[in-house]
Amino acid sequence: MEITREGPYRYRIERRGAMRVPGVVFASADLLPGAEADRSLRQVADVATLPGIVRASFAMPDVHWGYGFAIGGVAATDTAAGGVVSPGGVGFDISCGVRLLAAGLDRDAFAARAGTLMDRLGAAIPRGLGRGAVWHLPGRAELERVLAGGAAYAVERGHGVPRDLARCEDLGVMSGADPGLVGARAEERGLGQLGSLGSGNHFAEVQAVERVYDPATAEAFGLRPGRVCFMIHCGSRGLGHQICTDHVHAMQTAMPRYGIDVPDRQLACVPAESPEGRDYLASMAAAANYGRANRQLLTEAARRAFAAVHGCDLDLVYDVSHNLAKIETHPVDGEPRRLCVHRKGATLALPPGHPVLPPDLRAAGQPVLIPGTMGTASYVLTGVPGNPAFDSACHGAGRRQSRHQAARSVHGRDLRERLQAAGIAVRGASWRGLAEEAPAAYKDIDAVVDAAEGAGLCRKVARLVPLGVVKG
DNA sequence: ATGTCC
């Protein structure tokens, strides 16, 4: 692989063989993965071979190896020119994303009763592998309403306030969902998990605004130094996973009929405008709505805990997915084109003035939410004009060690001790899960965010530090 | 990420 430096935060993987476009990696020299040791850049090059891909196969500064596509990747295909959709470009956790809420509380008031609130949050937030939910759905009919209506349906049923929806991507509901396409196994898994964190890197965290870079934008987002926030990172649980699995299999069967050949079986794809492509997109939208309702239900659980202990409310700052494919219009070679934009471990980052932003965010831009790791900072940024990657940015710190490596080098109990000694309360689900998420297993979030800003993907607004984490 | 295999 031939990699050329194009700027301080931009590298190009030259077109070679079946690649239709180059690869573009946004990273500093320090963050750029080694082409030999790290398989993620090979994946970025493989994605560049997909039918209909335009501009480039992009990698964000937090890129790391994933199923087929790298995590931290963005790929857009021209739907009118046979451009494909691929479940691997979205990920197993469809509509995994981040929600940030701002509390009517400052960090000194939190500190006075930290243990009480953390115990309450720990008891109220279902987490870990398997069952447990804030809202137990009675059956298929109610599940279908969630799959069609997302967070908007949850609010309609009283799980939140209408103002929440103005601060959700797509107003809390992705259009085009077809709940009838969701199979029996996905249904079975989805009924008992609505309002649950899951495991892996999912978490809910009490944070405080430590630093503001842009006071005017921070004010528009409701962020000021010392304000307590609550961040939720989770997705569509077993339901989204099952839908991804079902469609990967269906596409692996269908692909030869479309004459599509890919360098890796995990890049299974079909034309976005084919019957199989449309079915995937409609099922994916249903899973996205489950993920959005999931974060809405966890918000309700958190609000009850904050109200009971501090008598305060939580105002939604924003809710955005970082695992999704969306049909969007972007200029390609000067012409507006209808593209299927895959963002896998890459967040939407809309600039100021974008027409889909609510009026009170129109001047400030979309809040771009980038969580760090346990014990490290998280960032709120805003979108910028001229984003080279279809209004996308990185989604987190990005792994640098596998789960296995991480669990081998640290014990969960020791990690919890260290975090608590540093003033960060921890309510976990399993010792093994805690060890796998050790900060040492991740890249430096400050460096990743600086690279994203330097590459022109987004602009820093505020830095948040953790006070207490409920870990999935 | 995930009842870590159909």
In the predicted structure, residue A87 carries a pLDDT above the cut 90: yes
Instruction: Give the list of residues 6+ apart from residue A322 with CB closer than 8 angstroms, or none.
Output: A96, A97, A98, A343, A345, A346, A347, A348, A395, A396
Three-class SS state of A196:
coil
Helix axes A237-254, A184-191, angle to 10 degrees: 170
pLDDT of amino acid A38: 79
Q: Sorting pLDDT into bands at 50, 70 and 90, what band is A36?
A: low
pLDDT of amino acid A2: 93
Is residue A415 assigned to a domain?
no
Q: Sorting pLDDT into bands at 50, 70 and 90, what band is A34?
A: confident
Q: Which of A299, A290, A301 is nearest to A317 (CA)?
A: A299
Is residue A430 assigned to a domain?
no
pLDDT of amino acid A13: 97
CA of residue A252 to C1' of nucleotide B5, angstroms: 18
Average pLDDT over residues A107-122: 98
Q: Which CATH number characterizes residue A116's domain?
A: 3.90.1860.10
State the nucleotide closest to A472 in CA–C1' terms: B1
Is residue A448 assigned to a domain?
yes
pLDDT of amino acid A37: 73
Structural domain that includes position A24? 3-400+442-471
**Which residues have CB under 7 A from strand B?**
A 67, 92-93, 96, 129-130, 185, 188-189, 193, 198-202, 235, 237-238, 241-242, 245, 472
State the nucleotide closest to A130 in CA–C1' terms: B3
Is residue A436 assigned to a domain?
no
State the nucleotide closest to A128 in CA–C1' terms: B2
pLDDT of amino acid A130: 84
Is residue A428 assigned to a domain?
no
Average pLDDT over residues A213-218: 98
pLDDT of amino acid A260: 97
Average pLDDT over residues A88-98: 98
Residue A417's CB is within 10 A of a number of other CB atoms, namely 12
CA of residue A21 to C1' of nucleotide B6, angstroms: 37
pLDDT of amino acid A107: 97
Are A321 and A50 a contacting pair, CB within 8 Å? no
CA of residue A28 to C1' of nucleotide B1, angstroms: 27
Is residue A42 assigned to a domain?
yes
CA of residue A198 to C1' of nucleotide B2, angstroms: 9
CA of residue A242 to C1' of nucleotide B5, angstroms: 14
In the predicted structure, residue A131 carries a pLDDT above the cut 80: no
Task: List Cα–Cα distances, A46 to A32, A63, A268, A315, A326, in angstroms.
Answer: 18, 14, 12, 42, 21
Query: Rounded to the nearest 5°, which phi and psi values hold at A180?
Result: -65, -20
Give the range among A79-83, A92-96, A345-349, A371-375 with minimum mean pLDDT.
A371-375
Torsion of Cα atoms, A199 then A205 then A210 then A212, to 10°: 80
Q: Which of A462, A256, A266, A277 is nearest to A370 (CA)?
A: A462
Is residue A407 assigned to a domain?
no
pLDDT of amino acid A315: 98
Bridge partner list, A471: A203
Structural element, H or E, at residue A317: strand A314-321
Q: Sorting pLDDT into bands at 50, 70 and 90, what band is A256?
A: very high
pLDDT of amino acid A35: 73
CA of residue A238 to C1' of nucleotide B3, angstroms: 9
Average pLDDT over residues A234-258: 97
Question: What residues of A are designated binding site for Mn(2+)?
Answer: 93, 202, 233, 322
pLDDT of amino acid A322: 98
In the predicted structure, residue A175 carries a pLDDT above the cut 80: yes
Exposure string (b/e) for A86-108, b if CB count within 10 Å is 16 or more? bbbbbbbbbbbbbbbbbbebebe
Q: Which residue is nearest to nucleotide B1 (CA to C1')?
A: A93
Residue A395 designated active-site: yes
Is residue A429 assigned to a domain?
no
pLDDT tens sequence across A297-337 = 999 999 999 999 999 999 999 999 999 999 999 999 999 99
Taking the alpha carbons of A130, A131, A133, A139 in that order, is the dihedral positive or negative? positive
State the nucleotide closest to A193 in CA–C1' terms: B3
State the nucleotide closest to A66 in CA–C1' terms: B1
Our count of domains for chain A comes to 1
In the predicted structure, residue A43 carries a pLDDT above the cut 70: yes
CA of residue A92 to C1' of nucleotide B4, angstroms: 13
Could you give the percent of chain A with pLDDT greater than 90? 97
Considering A330, A395, A404, A411, which one is annotated as catalytic?
A: A395
Query: Rounded to the nearest 5°, which phi and psi values hold at A237?
Result: 55, -150
Residue A205's CB is within 10 A of a number of other CB atoms, namely 24
In the predicted structure, residue A163 carries a pLDDT above the cut 80: yes
Q: Which of the pair, A339 or A36, is modelled with greater confidence?
A: A339
pLDDT tens sequence across A57-73 = 999 999 999 999 999 99
Average pLDDT over residues A162-188: 97
Question: What residues of A are designated binding site for GMP?
Answer: 201-205, 322-323, 371-374, 378, 395-398, 471
Are A468 and A208 a contacting pair, CB within 8 Å? no
The pLDDT mean for chain A works out to 97
